[in-house]
Copies of this chain bind each other. A is one copy, B any other.
Amino acid sequence: MTAAGEGAPGRPTDTEAAAGRTSARPPSMADVAQLAGVSHQTVSRVVNDHPSVLPATRERVLAAIARLGYRRNDAARALVTRRSGVLGVLTPGGTAYGPTSTFLALEDAAREAGYVLVVGTLRLPHEDSTAAALNRFLGLGVEGIAVIAPTEQVLRVVGEIDAPVPVVMLSSATRLPDRRLVGGVAVAQREGAAAATRHLLAGGASEVLHVAGPQDWFDAQERVRGWREACQAAGVSVPAPVETGWSARDGYQVGLRLVREGLPPAVFAANDQLALGLMHAWREHGVRVPDDVLLVGFDDEPGAAHYAPPLTTVRQDFAGLGAAAMRYLAEALEGRPTRRRALAAELVVRSSSVRG
C-alpha cells in the first residue's frame, strides 16, 4: 500500500510511537500487519486465535499489536459477520430491587457468554418508549433482546415490532403471544405466593388479605393468582385484593386505610416495599406486627431482614433467572429448541409472620 502517497487525508504523519499520540486514527489491522511484516489476514488469524499460525509469527504480530495499542474494530467486524456480540435489555426505569438484581444477573451471564448489554429503560408512556428502545436496539444490530419484568404494554409492543431476533421475557408472562421466538423464563411466582399464603393460614389466620401490585405487571397478576388459589384450597374466604403500586408510600396509604376500615388477621403484600409502608402506617397507630396482624412480603430485598420487625418474605432466585434467560437466548441463537423455564421461589420466615 502507498505508505505516504499524496492525496491522503488524515495520513498519520509519523505516528508517534511513544506517548505522543496524534489521535489521527486508531491503528488498524493493516497498520499492525505492516509493522509485523505479515498480511492483514494473518493479523486477523492471530486476533481470532486461529490455529494455523506459526508461534514465531504470532509473537511478532502480538508485539506489533502491543506496540501500536491496536484494538479490533467491532463495527467492521459486525458488518461482515452480522454478529454484533450485543444483546439488548429492556428494563423498567426504577430502582426496585427485583428488576435491578435481575439485570445484574443477566449482565453477569451475558458477559460470561461473551456478550455485552445495551440497556433501554421504559418510561411512560410505555408504548412509545418501548418501541423507540426496540428500534434503537435493532438498528444497533443486537442479536437478542431480554425484557425484564414485562407488562401487558411491553408485550404488545414487542409483538408489533416483530423483532427479527430472539426475545426472552424474564418473568411470568402467562399469555405469551404465539410468535415464534418470544418465550420466557420465570420465577415460580404463583407457587411463592401460595406458599406465603399457606404459611399465614397455618399461623392461625382465618383469612389473608392481599395487597397487590399493579395488575398490568405479569408478576403482580401471578402473585394474586397464587394467593387466591391457596385461599381457595384452604377453604377460607377470598377478600378482594387491594390493587396499588409497588412503593412503600403506596403501602403506607393502604395501611392507613386498613387501620380506619378494619384490620384483617393477616396480610400478604406483593412486595417488600409495600410491606414496609404497611408496617409504618400500622406502627403509627399502635398496631403491632405480628401480634395484631401477620405479614409477609415478596422479594427479600436487602433490608428486609432488618425491618421492624424483620420481614417474612419470598426470596426469588434472580441470579438463576438471569442465567436462565441467557441460556434461553443462547439456545435460540443457535437454533436449538428452547423451552420455558421456571425457577423456584423460597419462603424466608422471619418475625413478621410468627407470633410468640
Judged by a CB distance under 8 angstroms, whether A174 is at the interface is no
What is the size, in residues, of chain A's interface with B at 8 Å between Cβ atoms?
75
How many copies, total?
Answer: 2
- Chain B residues in 8 Å Cβ range of A248: 302-303, 305-306
Q: Which residues of B contact A283 (CB under 8 A)?
A: 308
Complex CA distance for A83 and B140, rounded to whole angstroms: 12
When the two chains form the complex, which single residue of B18, B108, B138 contacts A180, counting CB atoms closer than 8 Å?
Answer: B18
Indicate if A141 sits at the interface (CB-CB under 8 A). Answer: yes
Compute how far the CA of A75 lies from the CA of B93 in the bound complex, rounded to whole angstroms: 27
Cβ-neighbour of A273 out of B101, B117, B303 (below 8 A):
B303
- In the complex, identify which listed stretch (A118-126, A189-197, A204-212, A341-349) lies at the interface while the others stay far away: A118-126
In A39-78, the 8 Å CB interface with B consists of 71-76, 78
Whether the Cβ atoms of B74 and A141 lie closer than 8 Å is yes
Which of B75, B119, B252 contacts A84 (CB under 8 A)?
B75
- A19/B180 in contact, CB under 8 A: yes
Question: Of B16, B19, B71, B247, which is within 8 A of A139 by CB?
Answer: B71
Chain B: which residue is nearest A11 at the CB level? B335
Q: How far is the CA of A301 from the CA of B73 in the complex (A)?
A: 41
With A75-B75, A95-B101: A277-B306 Cβ-Cβ less than 8 Å: yes
Q: How far is the CA of A308 from the CA of B252 in the complex (A)?
A: 13
Contact between B95 and A302, CB atoms less than 8 A apart: yes
Instruction: Name the residue among A97, A116, A310 with the largest chain B CB count within 10 angstroms.
Output: A116
**A1 to B280, alpha carbons, bound, how many Å?**
56
A334 proximity list for chain B (CB < 8 A): 3
Q: Is B107 a contact of A121 with CB atoms below 8 Å?
A: yes
* Residue of A76, A310, A335, A337 most packed against chain B (CB within 10 A): A335
| Residue in B74, B164, B310 whose beta carbon sits within 8 Å of that of A21 in the complex | B164
* 240-281 of chain A: CB within 8 A of chain B: 247-249, 251-252, 273, 276-277, 279-280
Give min CB distance, A165 to chain B, whole Å.
Answer: 10
- The answer to whether the Cβ of A104 comes within 8 Å of any Cβ in the partner chain is yes
- Distance, CA A141 to CA B100, complexed state (A): 26
Tell me if B108 and A121 are in contact (CB < 8 A). yes
A sample of 15 inter-chain contacts (CB < 8 A) reads A10-B82, A73-B139, A74-B139, A75-B78, A75-B79, A75-B84, A75-B141, A93-B107, A94-B104, A107-B121, A108-B123, A111-B120, A249-B305, A277-B306, A280-B308
Interface residues of A (CB under 8 A from B): 1, 3-4, 10, 13, 15-19, 21, 23, 26, 71-76, 78-79, 82-84, 86, 93-95, 97, 100-101, 104, 107-108, 111, 116-121, 123, 135-136, 138-141, 162, 164, 179-180, 247-249, 251-252, 273, 276-277, 279-280, 283, 301-303, 305-308, 310, 334-337
